[in-house]
Chain A
């Protein structure tokens, strides 16, 4: 990790680049800094805090936020008194660990690298654009980024929302959407794709703070097209957040309020007063986009984002350089995370020859054998954490108290237990005092347990012979004004830990080998891309396709919205799959059965029909689910009953034909036909783009064609907004309809008639078009069956539910199973390709390692005590317990690699046959007993 660094130059070719960096000094020695924060307290100079969007003041010497990585303070030279005026230096003597070093100089560094991933993020909308909405003229007009910091509990105002003008709590708030997006005035014609979501989120958060506050969101289209995003919008409406479809012209101060002037669709101008106005600012291309493009020689698009194309969405114009995140185009967190994994997949194929050569592996001393017969020798280390703990808790007293406890052979205190020298000291003490259990009272095991466990390993102790007591985050920090009680609490917690420690046992490190092969379910673009990415990284896979031919939905498409021809791409893709020596394709195939766990699956695949039916068993390490979806066919709007009513996909086919009348003179398109609360409860994300694509094709064939689009929200997010604008410019009429006033389609004497309410002219309209096209949405294929077989959860809408919607978007709840494409949720082809590449990267991880490590805190079954009742099997949320036969008796057995250590099995086992590593009944009971030991009665102060 190289922070404070600028890229100056990049030379070379894929596999062999040289990057020249300039590393700016932090003026603080990162290894010595303990992030105690004393320096910031003493620093006399103020510094506007960019982390808090300038809403707070910090000091030149600071850390952006407590969890920052690296957890090292730094000095911002722009406001430091010493670096600017050669005075002060008060921080130097204040720092107890002598970390401050004003002699640091900028450092030049060359990196030899094989591939580059660009992820510089996004930039901010220019102030001139914000000024159009009065930003800067009145303090109560804020950007959504500023507002985010204002609502944050750990932010500068501790989450209290106040008007900057006079400190009152706002009772009426407005969010203005599309500030700096969909605005050709500032050359940002694109939709930023995130603002609708964050505005709704911030509005919901505001309502949590104060349910009485009145919130209005002024919007053109609400674009909550992401998976399950519409539900949040509905939740917002349900709790009274108002959505007004309008263009805001202007915001002006008016007495102590703000006056919004806006125009609604029907052409009316209206005014509304609000206490506070939040500007939902869009995402701009990064400030240094041009510089990056210059250095790396990649092409940018007309909005200064990185240029890529639909079928290779992460590949820049330079080989060996890939892109991920908002620099590829404005996008939200899950999309970014997915792109990152996809980019890793691409970079990995560039570098596969060099894989594993640059990584470092560490060696450990042989592990000391600790058995039940050995005397328990516990060492207790009490950390001061600088003054973080010791300013509240009496550390010497806690340590001394620990010294008097049973089994404790050694106790001491550290200024910082986590510091390099303390680690050495702990290691030496373990050896010298022959300690076989270590208890450290410091901060949270969630952050520091791995570090100390590493120390134990270095000292030759099994890493599980360790227990951590949290006397900082959960004691000194939260009881700052009650030092005596905090000290008493620390003693109790230490006693409980010592008591547990006496019962902890070394747990063996378990590893399970991996079969380096993938089964890919589905032979559409997602499945094929995933298999090809795996092949590029050097792994075999088997594609199981249920139909007679690979290709999937792409076979029904002619062009993409960006104009790329689909058939050619599909042919290349299928040819590559067929050519690849690493990919086997089974058509007419079906997954009949799967058993095993990550690294060691065995699947039975059936193929063929009737007499040709075959069964094949495949051993494999991972599964990629790419089972896809298909166009929904709602029983509405005369679909299937009239020849003049088509779906968008059918229309696309007709438009690609040769008949002269293939683009009729008048067409009505109905969006959300059967979607968003109708047959389907969700937005299918692709239909708006699909409609626009067909519209432009129609206009190309028959420019005079009259087209009316009846829609709820046009969700042409990202660059698709350009095409939407083009359609409008070509005279296509877009009319929104309300969900309680849907258009109606009827048939009279061979003519179709569409009746709808024209919300622009405010009148009922009847129209007899030549054709009606329905945007019908996407439904997943066979997820119910597969979900049962593989124990994979699905959402209420029948799509597979990812392990974490933000951070693990292609992994599923069962380890070793990954998802991509329409099986995960409706999405366009470029997002499907990225997701498939991401799934391939994630799937490759266990395959590269060759083994899966099992955290030893998993459950284990004592076979003699098990009565084979099977309660644990039915309760396990991860499918990690199976029943086996031992001497003709049913017994439970843990599949360690799948176990997540939740302990549900152990707590429900009627015979206490199941135990959890590191959390045994014995250990927890002794901890509870130690809790009872306390003579609290005496402590009650009268």
Chain B
């Protein structure tokens, strides 16, 4: 059994103009990163209501990522 069995569930809110674009660019460059992130695209991180973050935790996220 490996020591690193903790595989966190991460919910990410990505800004369409920067972070979402950067995530696309990471793909274009074939950068590899762990597949733990599930993303929601928003038009701006300003859209993120604090309740979305709480809701995410309630739904079982181990971490919330906000990229903008």
A and B: direct contact (Cβ < 8 Å)?
yes
On whether the beta carbons of A903 and B39 are closer than 8 Å, the reply is no
Bound-complex Cα distance A479 to B36 (A): 10
A903 in contact with B11 given A470-B24, A480-B30, A932-B58 (CB within 8 Å)? no
B39 (CB) vs chain A CBs: closest residue: A474
On whether the beta carbons of B38 and A154 are closer than 8 Å, the reply is no
**Cβ-neighbour of B32 out of A480, A489, A932 (below 8 A):** A480
**Cβ-neighbour of A906 out of B11, B32, B38, B47 (below 8 A):** B47
Task: Choose, from A289-297, A525-533, A539-547, A934-942, the stretch at the interface.
Answer: A934-942
- Cβ of B24: which chain A residues have Cβ within 8 Å of it? 444, 446-447, 470, 473-474
A928 in contact with B47 given A446-B20, A473-B28, A478-B30 (CB within 8 Å)? no
On whether the beta carbons of B44 and A925 are closer than 8 Å, the reply is no
A925 in contact with B47 given A66-B28, A472-B27 (CB within 8 Å)? no
On whether the beta carbons of B42 and A919 are closer than 8 Å, the reply is yes
On whether the beta carbons of B46 and A928 are closer than 8 Å, the reply is no
A479 in contact with B32 given A916-B47, A919-B42 (CB within 8 Å)? yes
- Cβ of B50: which chain A residues have Cβ within 8 Å of it? 907
On whether the beta carbons of A928 and B11 are closer than 8 Å, the reply is yes
On whether the beta carbons of A928 and B52 are closer than 8 Å, the reply is yes
In the assembled complex, the CB of B30 is this many whole angstroms from the nearest CB of chain A, namely 6
In the assembled complex, the CB of B23 is this many whole angstroms from the nearest CB of chain A, namely 5
On whether the beta carbons of A493 and B47 are closer than 8 Å, the reply is no
On whether the beta carbons of B44 and A902 are closer than 8 Å, the reply is yes
- The reply on A512 being an interface residue by CB < 8 A is no
- The reply on B63 being an interface residue by CB < 8 A is no
A914-942 near B? 1/0 per residue, CB < 8 Å = 00100101001101110111101001111
- The reply on A486 being an interface residue by CB < 8 A is yes
Instruction: Count residues on chain A whose CB falls below 8 Å from chain B CBs.
Output: 51
**Cβ-neighbour of B46 out of A473, A857, A902 (below 8 A):** A902
- Cβ of B11: which chain A residues have Cβ within 8 Å of it? 928, 931
CB contact list, A446-478 vs B, under 8 A: 446-447, 470, 472-475, 477-478
B24-41 near A? 1/0 per residue, CB < 8 Å = 101111111101011111
- Cβ of B31: which chain A residues have Cβ within 8 Å of it? 478
Q: Quick one: which of A474, A921, A934, A942 has the most chain B CB within 10 A?
A: A474
- The reply on A200 being an interface residue by CB < 8 A is no
On whether the beta carbons of A907 and B46 are closer than 8 Å, the reply is yes
On whether the beta carbons of A478 and B26 are closer than 8 Å, the reply is yes
On whether the beta carbons of B40 and A924 are closer than 8 Å, the reply is yes
In the assembled complex, the CB of B51 is this many whole angstroms from the nearest CB of chain A, namely 8
- Cβ of A444: which chain B residues have Cβ within 8 Å of it? 20, 24, 27
In the assembled complex, the CB of A907 is this many whole angstroms from the nearest CB of chain B, namely 4
A154 in contact with B29 given A907-B46, A928-B40 (CB within 8 Å)? yes
On whether the beta carbons of A478 and B58 are closer than 8 Å, the reply is no
A857 in contact with B43 given A931-B59, A940-B5 (CB within 8 Å)? yes
CB contact list, A607-643 vs B, under 8 A: none
Bound-complex Cα distance A360 to B9 (A): 49
- Cβ of B9: which chain A residues have Cβ within 8 Å of it? 934, 936
On whether the beta carbons of B41 and A445 are closer than 8 Å, the reply is yes
- Cβ of B23: which chain A residues have Cβ within 8 Å of it? 473-474
On whether the beta carbons of B30 and A928 are closer than 8 Å, the reply is no
- The reply on A2 being an interface residue by CB < 8 A is no
- The reply on A496 being an interface residue by CB < 8 A is yes
In the assembled complex, the CB of B56 is this many whole angstroms from the nearest CB of chain A, namely 5
CB contact list, A482-497 vs B, under 8 A: 482, 485-486, 488-489, 492-493, 496
B41 (CB) vs chain A CBs: closest residue: A445
Bound-complex Cα distance A473 to B39 (A): 12
On whether the beta carbons of B44 and A493 are closer than 8 Å, the reply is no
On whether the beta carbons of B49 and A921 are closer than 8 Å, the reply is yes
Bound-complex Cα distance A486 to B11 (A): 15
Bound-complex Cα distance A384 to B58 (A): 34
A493 in contact with B39 given A903-B46, A904-B47 (CB within 8 Å)? yes
**Cβ-neighbour of A927 out of B26, B33, B40 (below 8 A):** B40
Bound-complex Cα distance A924 to B6 (A): 27
In the assembled complex, the CB of A507 is this many whole angstroms from the nearest CB of chain B, namely 14
Bound-complex Cα distance A933 to B41 (A): 18
In the assembled complex, the CB of B18 is this many whole angstroms from the nearest CB of chain A, namely 11
- The reply on A481 being an interface residue by CB < 8 A is yes
- Cβ of A936: which chain B residues have Cβ within 8 Å of it? 7, 9, 60
Q: Quick one: which of A445, A447, A902, A934 has the most chain B CB within 10 A?
A: A902
B29 (CB) vs chain A CBs: closest residue: A154
Bound-complex Cα distance A936 to B6 (A): 11
A928 in contact with B55 given A446-B16, A902-B46, A921-B49 (CB within 8 Å)? yes
- Cβ of A445: which chain B residues have Cβ within 8 Å of it? 41
On whether the beta carbons of A907 and B26 are closer than 8 Å, the reply is no
A924 in contact with B42 given A470-B24, A936-B60 (CB within 8 Å)? yes
Bound-complex Cα distance A472 to B59 (A): 26
Bound-complex Cα distance A191 to B7 (A): 57
In the assembled complex, the CB of B25 is this many whole angstroms from the nearest CB of chain A, namely 8
**Cβ-neighbour of B1 out of A482, A489, A903, A942 (below 8 A):** A942
Bound-complex Cα distance A911 to B43 (A): 21
In the assembled complex, the CB of B44 is this many whole angstroms from the nearest CB of chain A, namely 3
- Cβ of B59: which chain A residues have Cβ within 8 Å of it? 928-929, 931-933
- The reply on A153 being an interface residue by CB < 8 A is yes
- The reply on A67 being an interface residue by CB < 8 A is yes
- Cβ of A430: which chain B residues have Cβ within 8 Å of it? none
- The reply on A441 being an interface residue by CB < 8 A is no
Bound-complex Cα distance A470 to B19 (A): 14
A903 in contact with B47 given A477-B28, A481-B32 (CB within 8 Å)? yes
On whether the beta carbons of B35 and A904 are closer than 8 Å, the reply is no
In the assembled complex, the CB of B42 is this many whole angstroms from the nearest CB of chain A, namely 6
On whether the beta carbons of A907 and B48 are closer than 8 Å, the reply is yes
- The reply on A861 being an interface residue by CB < 8 A is no
A904 in contact with B44 given A925-B55, A931-B61 (CB within 8 Å)? yes
- The reply on A570 being an interface residue by CB < 8 A is no
- Cβ of A470: which chain B residues have Cβ within 8 Å of it? 24, 39
B42 (CB) vs chain A CBs: closest residue: A919
- Cβ of A477: which chain B residues have Cβ within 8 Å of it? 27-28, 30
On whether the beta carbons of A919 and B27 are closer than 8 Å, the reply is no
Bound-complex Cα distance A919 to B44 (A): 11
In the assembled complex, the CB of A854 is this many whole angstroms from the nearest CB of chain B, namely 14
A907 in contact with B47 given A493-B38, A493-B39, A931-B59 (CB within 8 Å)? yes
- The reply on A707 being an interface residue by CB < 8 A is no
Q: Quick one: which of B1, B26, B44, B46 has the most chain A CB within 10 A?
A: B46
Bound-complex Cα distance A10 to B56 (A): 63
A901 in contact with B41 given A473-B28, A474-B27, A936-B7 (CB within 8 Å)? no
Could you jot down 12 A-B contacts, CB within 8 Å? Answer: A154-B29, A446-B24, A479-B32, A900-B43, A902-B43, A902-B46, A904-B46, A907-B46, A924-B40, A929-B55, A931-B38, A932-B59
> Can you add 13 more A-B contacts, CB < 8 Å, to A472-B27, A478-B31, A479-B32?
A446-B16, A447-B24, A477-B30, A478-B33, A496-B38, A903-B44, A903-B48, A907-B49, A919-B42, A931-B38, A934-B9, A936-B60, A939-B7
Interface residues, chain B, CB within 8 Å of chain A?
A: 1, 5-7, 9, 11, 16, 20-21, 23-24, 26-33, 35, 37-44, 46-50, 52, 55-56, 58-61
